[in-house]
Chain A
């Protein structure tokens, strides 16, 4: 399989704190890749580096074989590389339908398209995707009035609306009711198979990530600790030590 995201020797430090040191990894096109690691191990920093949220100190990041480490956030998003946030972010004062409609891909939109209204197919797509995440009944409620879990589902649906090539999910199941988690895993898998979106997922819930990912990278202290299939990671003594704090 081809690598859609290639990270080579990326380092990023905040002042004296080295959040990422010489990290290299690749995300396969069309697959689901996981990223795990103890708290503070640099997972979100790496995500932020990939989507252009901050400049990296050294190294290279390629998306679809093109260097993106110098591009601003919006430009990377318009290329089809999207992220969701650990602290869920939705447009609180707008209703779910508006949240979805504004998430339509802007890479296909010229400036003057902004002065048009949405067509019927946009509304149908919105309804279909809200139905997909189970928020259809609440679609005219303000997004800010939804529960945290529902906001998380809405954010996921918004990301799908954007038709990304690859989607970076930062802890998609954190704060979600355990009974809903199975449904969410199922939806993530379907987004991958039905819509063909490459997923790169940070997750703390081991059961979720072992079920979901085909390949897992583990970070600790800002460095790449291990990589492999879920079975290899589960049996890797270094990973177990990192999580239990032997380091």
Chain B
């Protein structure tokens, strides 16, 4: 890494750490921004880098929420009795019970979602192109409907988690740093992953899967591993969201296919598919755009969002990073190199 990049990364990291103190009124907003960045980056792992456009990644978000809730509550009480009580009985969580539930819930949600990704991937990775998108969307919608009819986890009313035991503002800060921490770890992980042979292999699957098979790549193994890794991070942020929101229900919050499930795709399309920075840039722009229109164009916010999607898809098909790569290929190392000047 050269010196200029190092300074840039240190600056971004510093901004990440001090942002909630600079803008104390926007702590929840900033936490949501990190959530958008994480789901966009993980969507791009399969959608951008591997060429499998999943519309079902929201499944892991919702499943992460429920797994975390079941773990956090199940550690202390019987889950069925807890959801049955519907406010009629008081359940108390000590500070230690809350934090152990949070920790184990987040980790457990990540692991559970990884395993589910392998199982669902095994069934759906035979589908290509739009069929994969619709197949995974079906999984997410079906999961939402199933969970909303499952009384043990609260059915359509959803489930309420214990409230953060300490000061409310400190709680907001905690959730911001949890999201930011997962985001930073994810970014570093992906920067490394895309530089390995694994990154090359999933790019090859994106560009021509049949060729990759003919060259002897273990294509299914790469696809399952990639989705399992993506699901791990989505499941974890789903779990963190569950604790942040305290109460959530299956269709509008957990398996919210038309909100977050589509937003993550729009973020990546806006920023540029198949690049490391594209999803980050796209998520930031999208989140700012969404918050501004939701505040100042109320009533027209969905129209504005639709217009943004249309403009992106029609005029910036490769997103911002793709547009830059097209205009300034030399910035990305795309160049003709004469033999005598090369070091090889």
Contact = CB atoms under 8 A, between A and B. Distances in A.
Interface of A: 51, 73-74, 77-78, 82-83, 85, 89-95, 98, 101-107, 109, 111, 113-118, 123-124, 127, 131, 136-142, 144, 158, 162
B327 interface: no
- Of listed A77, A90, A104, A114, residue having the most chain B CB within 10 A: A114
A95 B339 contact: no
Contacts of A91: 203-204, 207-208, 211-212
A162 B336 CA distance: 25
A102 B204 contact: yes
B222 to A, nearest CB: 8
23 contacts: A51-B214, A77-B214, A78-B216, A82-B215, A82-B216, A89-B208, A91-B211, A91-B212, A92-B208, A93-B203, A98-B200, A105-B216, A106-B215, A111-B218, A114-B196, A117-B195, A117-B197, A131-B339, A136-B339, A137-B337, A138-B336, A140-B334, A142-B334
Contacts of B200: 94, 98, 101-102
B102 interface: no
Sort A-B residue pairs by CB-CB distance and give the 3 closest, nearest first: A77-B216, A91-B207, A89-B211
Contacts, number: 109
Given A82-B215, A94-B204, A94-B207, 6 more contacts: A74-B218, A77-B215, A92-B208, A102-B204, A114-B201, A137-B336
A102 B197 contact: yes
A77 B217 CA distance: 8
Nearest to A77: B216
Contacts of A74: 213, 216-219
A132 to B, nearest CB: 13
B229 to A, nearest CB: 11
Contacts of A107: 216
A139 B207 contact: no
Contact of A93 (B201, B212, B274, B338): B274
Contact of B215 (A92, A139, A158): A158
Contacts of B95: none
Interface string B201-239: 101101110111111111101100000000000000000
A140 B203 contact: no
A152 to B, nearest CB: 13
Contacts of B103: none
B159 to A, nearest CB: 38
Contacts of B336: 137-138, 140-141
A114 B334 contact: no
Nearest to B192: A115
B192 to A, nearest CB: 9
Given A93-B203, A102-B200, A85 B214 contact: yes
A122 to B, nearest CB: 9
Given A89-B208, A137-B339, A73 B214 contact: yes
A144 B325 CA distance: 14
B303 to A, nearest CB: 34
B335 interface: yes
Given A111-B221, A123-B344, A136-B339, A83 B214 contact: yes
B122 interface: no
A83 B338 CA distance: 31
B300 interface: no
Given A116-B197, A162-B216, A93 B211 contact: no
Contacts of A158: 215
Given A102-B201, A137-B339, A141-B336, A117 B211 contact: no
Given A98-B200, A111-B221, A139 B208 contact: no
Contacts of A118: 197
B344 A124 contact: yes
B77 interface: no
Nearest to A73: B213
A141 B212 CA distance: 20
Contacts of B216: 74, 77-78, 82, 105-107, 162
Interface string B324-343: 00000000011111110010
A139 B203 contact: no
